[in-house]
Amino acid sequence: MRQIELLSPAGNPEKLEVAFHYGADAVYLGGQIFTMRAMNSNFNHDELKWAVEYAHKLGKKVYVTVNTIPFSGELPALEEYVKFLDTIKVDGVIVSDLGVFQMVRENTNLNISISTQASNTNWKSVKLWHDMGAKRIVLAREISLDDIKIIKDKVPTVEIETFIHGAMCMSISGRCLLSNYMTGRDANRGACAHPCRWKYYLMEEKRPGEYYPVFEDDHGAYIFDSKDICTIEVFDELLNAGVDSLKIEGRMKGINYVASVTKAYREALDSYLTGDYTYNPEWLGELQTVSHRHYIPGFLKGKPDSNSHNYFDASYKQTHKMVGKVESIENGLYKIAVRNQIKLGVEIEAVTPNPGINKFTLTELYDYDTKEPIEVANPNSTVLISSSIPLQVLDLLRVKSETETRGGER
């Protein structure tokens, strides 16, 4: 049976634990230097070492992003850093720059993945990287299912990784100068301010009466703002194309996102691996519960059309909100780290690694320190609850939003 890897984002140690709990085979993460998510908390050296040890005990893998575009003065620090990654036995590094690629080759025995930033869209470029020593290519997002099949047919020994879910960049493979120009934060060095998500009006001052076709309403126009990629409805086609690693975007998203998206694609992948794949609409329902923009299949079914952008708003939506995470089991009760307000009598959905969602009514709620019963628990508190269904450490609890939630997630 062909090995297919489910690869989840891990923006910090908590997200790493959650990703593995919900079925990821591997995670990708960044240290505190040379990573494309510089605004994230990321992992210091001690945490990187811990992450690899934690993953390997579970039989899982860790890939480290070293995919910024460095300047010459940074090369000594880069050399020291990749040697460190080699000593702690990370399973691979993700790079986009030829100089970084050569630095890794000269100083380590690390497996190398070529980042989506390198814009690989044809088999010739994939073969060149592979011939030079790259083990895996993370294909550009601007690629179709037919293109993937051609690449895999022409270069069968290379591992192919592709994004299956998450945010889409409005620029080719993320190479964008908008953020640098408008805010001084360089998207190619991990500090993107995401100005493509802002609202814009189009005007050419010297051509009065000449109107450019921009869809807008009274709130402005979001003409650069792509919808999110979601491949769950074409999942079997993607796997049949020959992809080896299925990558979920979202190192800056919350643990609720990591859990639910990993869970949905884990169930889909397991169904595929049985040899009797059947699409389950509940998978898409699970993906709707977390913070996202409207979904499209990206470029996989051909070039996106005019319906692939958010012309009217740049907000996120979600059908549920996370209220807590199970931290331990004590005397038959569950210790919960509260993320959003919980009230007695509400219906709780328990998000577990098992297929489906279990529900129970919250009938017991205690302050963790005093052990006194309470009726409401507020964010950043710790409580004890009972549950009519069994829970595990790292399981998440959520409630259905009374109205469709807009905005980010905790």
Q: Residue 355's Cα: distance from chain center in Å? A: 20
The pair of structure tokens assigned to 262 is 């990993």
What's the rounded Cα separation, in Å, for the pair 333 and 311? 48
What's the rounded Cα separation, in Å, for the pair 245 and 238? 11
Return the amino acid letter for 247. K
pLDDT at 130: 98
**CA proximity to 90, closest of 113, 110, 65, 119:** 110
What's the rounded Cα separation, in Å, for the pair 364 and 343? 10
Cβ contacts of 407 within 8 Å, gap of 6 or more: 291, 315, 316
> Is pLDDT larger for residue 373 or for residue 225?
373
Cβ contacts of 202 within 8 Å, gap of 6 or more: 212, 214, 221, 223
Using 50, 70 and 90 to split pLDDT, how confident is the model at 239? very high
Percent of the chain at pLDDT above 70? 79
Does position 408 have pLDDT exceeding 50, yes or no? no
Using 50, 70 and 90 to split pLDDT, how confident is the model at 227? confident
Return the amino acid letter for 314. A
Q: What is this structure's pTM?
A: 0.86
Q: What is the mean pLDDT of residues 253-257?
A: 94
Residue 161's alpha-carbon distances to 57, 94, 114, 158, 238, in angstroms, are 24, 11, 9, 10, 11
Lowest mean pLDDT among 69-73, 163-167, 207-211, 356-360: 207-211
Does position 211 have pLDDT exceeding 60, yes or no? no
pLDDT at 91: 98
The string of pLDDT tens digits covering residues 32-78 is 887 755 555 689 999 999 999 999 999 999 999 998 888 999 999 99
Does position 188 have pLDDT exceeding 80, yes or no? no
Please, what are the domains in the chain? Answer: 5-171+225-304 (3.20.20.70), 318-406 (2.40.30.10)
The string of pLDDT tens digits covering residues 96-109 is 999 999 999 999 99
The string of pLDDT tens digits covering residues 268-315 is 999 999 999 999 999 999 999 997 877 887 778 877 665 555 545 556
Q: Which residues of 344-364 are buried (b: 16+ CB within 10 A; e: fewer)?
A: eeeebbbbbbeeebbebebee
What's the rounded Cα separation, in Å, for the pair 243 and 240? 8
Using 50, 70 and 90 to split pLDDT, how confident is the model at 216? very low
**CA proximity to 403, closest of 317, 326, 325:** 317
Q: Judge contact between 362 and 346, C-beta under 8 A.
A: yes
Lowest mean pLDDT among 173-182, 234-243, 277-286: 173-182
Cβ contacts of 57 within 8 Å, gap of 6 or more: none
What's the rounded Cα separation, in Å, for the pair 320 and 396? 12
